[in-house]
Each structure stands twice: as structure tokens, then as C-alpha cells.
């Protein structure tokens, strides 16, 4: 039986989570979401993972979003619960303790893009098309899209894309800040792993605290954000990693961080 979600640990400190339902464009069925949540918890509990990549199998789709076939025959209440489950799963990705990179290997529509928006960084293959297409189905993004896209690219652009349900190319997504990098498909995973390793070479506790400071601070006023930053900074001071960083700098060598 095919595993809906594959997990691989590469180069010791990088987890690669692969959505593996290519026959359905990695649509978010309940079974896929169940497995994804299981893997999220497994990665979070692995203290040796300092950065995570989420991607899709093959080159067709990162994820086309909700499984609309599965949704056929559901009551209104069941549909609402299904969308909430997607949203809760997307939030679980956002709350992973380490930085998370979305490697968009193909289309990312609706809930698929909402999943990518919950990641810290996004790299897209040149052929990828992405968009929050829900209004074309007479609904709205319900797994965080209206909130995360607006925070990422600004009010006007987010409204334009959500109101029109427009699907944009990888190059346009790069221009408006929806993704941070665009590469050829055959270079996508290699590029994502290289970035992940660059991130993972830094102090894991510092990465966790930086992510907390950024994600929590952006939701507040500047004064509160600065206070949050200070609290997160203080968490790094008593660590062994901080001392290792100073010693490595003094000895002109690469630091060996252990997340302690």
C-alpha cells in the first residue's frame, strides 16, 4: 500500500516530508491529513531535526487543496468540520518549532497554497501555478488563506488574488512576494535541501526563538513585538550552543550545535 506521506531525514538535521497522493494531485483527504499530522508530531519530537522541507511527489502537484470528491455527499456541518481540520493541520505546520520550507513542485491551489503559506519560506518550480481559487467555487479560503496571504503580500494584492480566484505563475508569485525563490524543477529539491542545510548550520534554539519572535511579533504592535523579541533573546543566553558559538568564533572553526 502506498504511503500517503513519506518522511526522510537527509544530511542528519533536515527532514523532508513528501505528500504522496499523486493520482489525486495530493488532495487533502482525511487520511492524508491524519498521516500528515502524525508525521508533524514525529518531526517535532525529533530533537536532531533543525529544519524541515515539505514537498509533493513528482512534478504535477504540491497539493490541489481539499479533496472535493471526498466532500461529495457531506452535510454542511461535515464540510465545515473538514475545512476546520485542514486549517488545524496547516496551523500545526506553522507551529512546528523549526523553520519549514515549502518546495512547490507543481500546482498549489486552495488548501495546498494555504499549507505553503504556513511554511516559513517557499521555493517554487518554474512550471508551478498557485492561487487561492475558492471564490470560483462560491466559498472563501477557510484554512488561513485570507489571513496569511494578506500578511505575506499586503492587503491590495491579497484582495486581488482572492477576489478573482486568479492562478499565478511562479515568476509572478516571486514578483509579488508569494514565494522567495524560483528554480527549475530538476533543481528544486536540491535547492531546498541546500537552503535547509544552511539554516540547520545555525543554532537550533536560536532558530526556534527567532521563529517565535517573528511569528508572534508580526501580530502585535512594535512595542509589544520588541518585548517579545527580548524574551526570546533571553532564552538563548544560558544555552551551551551560545558558548559553543563563541568558542568556535574564537578558534576560527565551524561550530557544532546540539540544541542545548
Active site residues: 114, 134
CA-closest candidate to residue 113, choices 83, 148, 81: 148
**Contact residues for 123 (Cβ-Cβ < 8 A; gap 6+):** 101, 102, 103, 104, 179, 180, 181, 182, 183, 188, 191, 192, 195
Instruction: Report CA-CA distances (Å) from 221 to 196, 208, 212.
Output: 30, 21, 15
Report the distance separating Cα 218 and Cα 151, nearest Å.
9
Place of cell 513519506: 6
Instruction: Report CA-CA distances (Å) from 3 to 22, 34, 165.
Output: 11, 12, 32
Report the distance separating Cα 254 and Cα 79, nearest Å.
51
What is the dihedral angle through the alpha carbons of 61, 212, 89, 202, rounded to the nearest 10 degrees?
A: 50
Instruction: Report the residue count for the chain.
Output: 260
211 close to 98: Cβ distance less than 8 angstroms: yes
Report the distance separating Cα 105 and Cα 20, nearest Å.
12
Q: At what angle do helices 240-251 and 204-217 cross, to 10 degrees?
A: 120
Amino acid at each position: 500500500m502506498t504511503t500517503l506521506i513519506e518522511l526522510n531525514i537527509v544530511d542528519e538535521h533536515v527532514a523532508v516530508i513528501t505528500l504522496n497522493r499523486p493520482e489525486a494531485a495530493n488532495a487533502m483527504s482525511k487520511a492524508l491529513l491524519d498521516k500528515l499530522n502524525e508525521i508533524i508530531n514525529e518531526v517535532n519530537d525529533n530533537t536532531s531535526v533543525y529544519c524541515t522541507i515539505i514537498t509533493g511527489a513528482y512534478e504535477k502537484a504540491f497539493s490541489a487543496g481539499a479533496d472535493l470528491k471526498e466532500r461529495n455527499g457531506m452535510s454542511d456541518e461535515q464540510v465545515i468540520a473538514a475545512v476546520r481540520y485542514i486549517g488545524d493541520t496547516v496551523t500545526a505546520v506553522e507551529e512546528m518549532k523549526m523553520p519549514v520550507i515549502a518546495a512547490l513542485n507543481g500546482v498549489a491551489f486552495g488548501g495546498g497554497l494555504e499549507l505553503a503559506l504556513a511554511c516559513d519560506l517557499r521555493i517554487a518550480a518554474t512550471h508551478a501555478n498557485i492561487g487561492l481559487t475558492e471564490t470560483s467555487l462560491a466559498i472563501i479560503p477557510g484554512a488561513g488563506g485570507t489571513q496569511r496571504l494578506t500578511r505575506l503580500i499586503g492587503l491590495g494584492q491579497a484582495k486581488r488574488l482572492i477576489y478573482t480566484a486568479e492562478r499565478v505563475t511562479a515568476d509572478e508569485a516571486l514578483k509579488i512576494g508569494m514565494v522567495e525563490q524560483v528554480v527549475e524543477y530538476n533543481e528544486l529539491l536540491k535547492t531546498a535541501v541546500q537552503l535547509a542545510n544552511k539554516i540547520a548550520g545555525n543554532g537550533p534554539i536560536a532558530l526556534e526563538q527567532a521563529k517565535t519572535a517573528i511569528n508572534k511579533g508580526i501580530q502585535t504592535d512594535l512595542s509589544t513585538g520588541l518585548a517579545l523579541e527580548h524574551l526570546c533573546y533571553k532564552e538563548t543566553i544560558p544555552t551551551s550552543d551560545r558558548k559553543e558559538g563563541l568558542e568556535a568564533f574564537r578558534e576560527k572553526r565551524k561550530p557544532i550545535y546540539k540544541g542545548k
